[in-house]
Amino acid sequence: MTYYETINYLFNCLPMFHRIGAAAYKASLDTTLKLDEIVNHPHTQFKSIHVAGTNGKGSVSHIIASILQSADYKVGLYTSPHLTDFRERIKINGSKIPKSEVVHFVEKYKSVFDELHPSFFEMTLALAFDYFARQKVDVAVVEVGLGGRLDSTNIISPLLSIITNTGFDHTEFLGNTITSIASEKAGIIKPQTPVVVGEWDDESAAVFLEKAICENAEIIFASQCAKVDEIKQYETYQEFEISVSDCNFMAFDNKKIKLDLLGNYQQKNIITALAAIAALQKHSLLKINNEAIFTGFANTAKQTGLRGRWQILAQNPLTICDTGHNAHGLNLSMAQLKSTKRNKLFFIFGIADDKDLDSILPFLPQDAFYIFTSANIPRAMPANCLAQRCFAANLQGKTISNVQDALFYAQKSAQKDDVIFIGGSTYVVAEIIDI
């Protein structure tokens, strides 16, 4: 099989959640465990760090991977979904898995796939762990796909578990209360394994504390250990001034951290990442000095290839994309967008059909001109349906179903002192980011 044929097989023959939604979700680890046994349990051959959360888990995973790279570790990074290239999901020290590795793995186990019928995510995870083991990574940073307790990634025994935050998303699988969602995410807390929770919330904190006690696991709430006092924005990076309230929290106080990821919401992610590094240092799980920490933050995008987080695509007009796609994630990014200096705002907006649009609408800027669109996946909400619901909420604009045509319309209409924003869905961003 060629790489093109291999990718077509994976996309068309294995159920993919990001394309078809609920039909691809499995509320069981049975197939994952069977597949893991067939590939000889590769995840037992390297250390790992497990990252869950409603929002921020992708950024936190990339930041931690960058810091560990800067500390001279060979670092595997498993994340999802990808934007434009399947191989973005599986990286070692920022380099995507070679096409030949993907082809070889699928050819070797295709008969197994045909018998077991794994999901796309289950197959991708097995591929990643097999690749990491054969390449002898020192440590892998593994991002949860959905939830935690029943996520395929939850077969690992990590050095550290991380839960960034708890918000409403994927409620059809995880439940429609903060307590039920937190219970699913708490499923990654392992016996005698420290866990870092990024943001304190009374409802979710009670769940995490109870689970940590049951597992005899030390729990650290990052937001209670440190905070961001000041943010300075620059064209290609931002600088955060940190103050520490817990004297056991790392070996520095009132330090400035430079991060090459933009977006005000990163202030929450850097505190979570710092707490995670502090836990690794405290328990002597990995050797990480302060120089590696500061270098890793400053070069996260450069060293890991992370894209789509408040990413500047062009100037004159300023064109920004962001993959935030639920109310919890859009809250901060929309506040930043509303305060962004501009004349007119063009908002290219599309969402998945299974998202709670009613919870998102209150955060959207009222003064924007919206271009309602639809990503080229079955899960996408049709642009005309999205437009009707947004018109009912007094948002103004027009419908252009094709994402690229929506961008071309915005570019043609906008003046140099206007702003074009692309968001609402990872898949809308994916169709634009390389244009």
Q: What are phi and psi of 123, to 5 degrees?
A: -65, -45
Q: Check residue 160 and give its pLDDT.
A: 98
Q: How far is CA 344 from CA 284, 310, 321, 421, 429, in A?
A: 52, 19, 16, 11, 21
Cα–Cα distance for residue pair 355/424, rounded to 1 Å: 10
What is the C-alpha separation between 395 and 374, in angstroms, rounded?
17
CATH number of 3-304: 3.40.1190.10
pLDDT of 351-370, one tens digit each? 999 889 999 999 999 999 99
Dist. CA 369–CA 359, nearest whole Å: 20
Residues 6 or more apart from 40 whose CB is under 8 A from it? none
- Listed by start position, the domains of the chain span 3-304, 311-430
Long-range interactions of 232-237: CB distance < 8 A, separation 24+: 233/262, 235/312, 236/260, 237/262, 237/298
Which pLDDT does position 18 carry in this prediction? Answer: 56
pLDDT at site 245: 80
The pair of three-digit structure tokens given for residue 273, joined into one six-digit string = 């990442």
What integer pLDDT is reported at residue 23 of this predicted model? 58
Q: What is the CATH code of the structural domain delimited by 311-430?
A: 3.90.190.20
Say if 3-304 and 311-430 have the same CATH topology: no
Spatial separation of the C-alpha atoms in residues 221 and 219, rounded to whole Å: 7
pLDDT value of residue 173: 67
Q: Hey, what are 172's tokens?
A: 């059809």
**For residues 207 and 187, what is the distance between their CA atoms, to the nearest angstrom?**
10
Q: What is the pLDDT of residues 230-272, one digit of tens each?
A: 999 998 999 999 988 875 666 555 588 999 999 999 999 999 9
The Cα 353–Cα 14 span in angstroms is: 21
Answer whether 73's CB lies under 8 Å from 286's CB: yes
* Closest to 137 measured CA to CA, from 156, 151, 118, 123: 156
Q: What is the pTM of this model?
A: 0.95
What's the sign of the alpha-carbon dihedral 60, 64, 70, 76? negative
pLDDT per residue of the chain (435 residues) written in tens, 0 to 9: 899 999 999 888 776 655 555 555 667 899 999 999 999 999 999 999 999 999 999 999 999 999 999 999 999 999 999 999 999 999 999 999 999 999 999 999 999 999 999 999 999 999 999 999 999 999 999 999 988 999 999 999 999 999 999 987 766 768 889 999 999 999 999 999 999 999 999 999 999 999 999 999 999 999 999 999 999 999 899 999 998 887 566 655 558 899 999 999 999 999 999 999 999 998 999 999 989 999 999 999 999 999 999 999 999 999 999 999 888 888 889 999 999 999 999 999 999 998 899 999 999 999 999 999 999 998 899 999 999 999 999 999 999 999 999 999 999 999 999 999 999 999 999 999 988
Of 417, 419, 422, residue with least CA distance to 406 = 422
